[in-house]
Amino acid sequence: MVQKLNTLQESPSQTAGPFVHIGTVPTYAGLEGVYATELGQSTVSDGAKGQIIEISGRIIDGAGGVMRDALFEVWQADSQGLYAGQDGADPNVTGWARVCADPEDGKWTLKTVKPGRVSMRDGRIQAPHIAIWIVARGINTGLQTRIYFNDEDNSADPVLGRIEHKHRVETLLAQKQAEGRYEFDIRLQGEGETVFFDM
């Protein structure tokens, strides 16, 4: 026998299921008016400093099917690289939002501010990025990934630097289409599979 640890284990995850919207985005499920305020509608409010951008894409499964029931959340810094609540952070950037795939064609769109560079504890700097957490029917534990931007210098990013197969870095880069407009597809499995994190 050994001494007992006074720590606990994390609760096991379970899939969010196909009806995740009831609890998280009730208006999407058809439950208008239950809540006075629906949370996570936008990462920004009027007056946010920096460049407002639009990112759109699809989430694609291992058989090439576009997922129409997926939901993801984003979390990002403001244009100065500060997270909401940190000293000096932009009061008009909450940094958190929920994004649903369109029930017809699976397309999603995120309108947000382009994030700045974020410092790490040891002083190294992360390239601009948006953290993503995806849940859906068939996903047993929420998947963590990130959006970076192909018009930024990502060469010194400490997280991208950890990706052993360099050609896979490309799967995390939003592709610029026009000024302020990007495309970013997420592939869950197989050809061109997006890099997912455990961090």
Q: Give, as ranges, the residues between 138 and 177 that touch other proteins (CB under 8 A).
A: 138-144, 146, 158-159, 161-163, 168
Structure tokens at 32: 């208008």
Quote the CA–CA distance of 26 and 23 in Å, as a whole number. Answer: 6
Contact of 25 with 16, CB cutoff 8 Å: no
Position among 49, 84, 92, 106 found at the interface with other proteins (CB under 8 A):
84
Q: What is the DSSP letter of 29?
A: H
**192 binding other proteins? (CB under 8 A):** no
**180 binding other proteins? (CB under 8 A):** no
Position among 75, 106, 169, 175 found at the interface with other proteins (CB under 8 A):
75
Contact of 95 with 112, CB cutoff 8 Å: no
Query: Min. distance of Cβ 182 from other proteins in angstroms?
Result: 19
Position among 6, 155, 166, 178 found at the interface with other proteins (CB under 8 A):
6
Among the residue ranges 47-55, 61-69, 147-155, 177-185, the one whose residues contact other proteins (CB under 8 A): 61-69
Largest CA-CA distance found in the chain, in angstroms, rounded: 64
Q: Which of residues 31-60 bind other proteins (CB under 8 A)?
A: 31, 34-37, 39
Looking at the Cβ atoms of 176 and 196, the one nearer to other proteins is 196
**106 binding other proteins? (CB under 8 A):** no
Quote the CA–CA distance of 192 and 183 in Å, as a whole number. Answer: 15
Q: Which of residues 112-131 bind other proteins (CB under 8 A)?
A: 118-122, 126, 129, 131
Give me the count of residues in the chain. Answer: 199
Q: What is the DSSP letter of 175?
A: E
| Cα 109 from chain centroid (whole Å) | 12
Quote the CA–CA distance of 94 and 96 in Å, as a whole number. Answer: 6
Query: Min. distance of Cβ 74 from other proteins in angstroms?
Result: 9
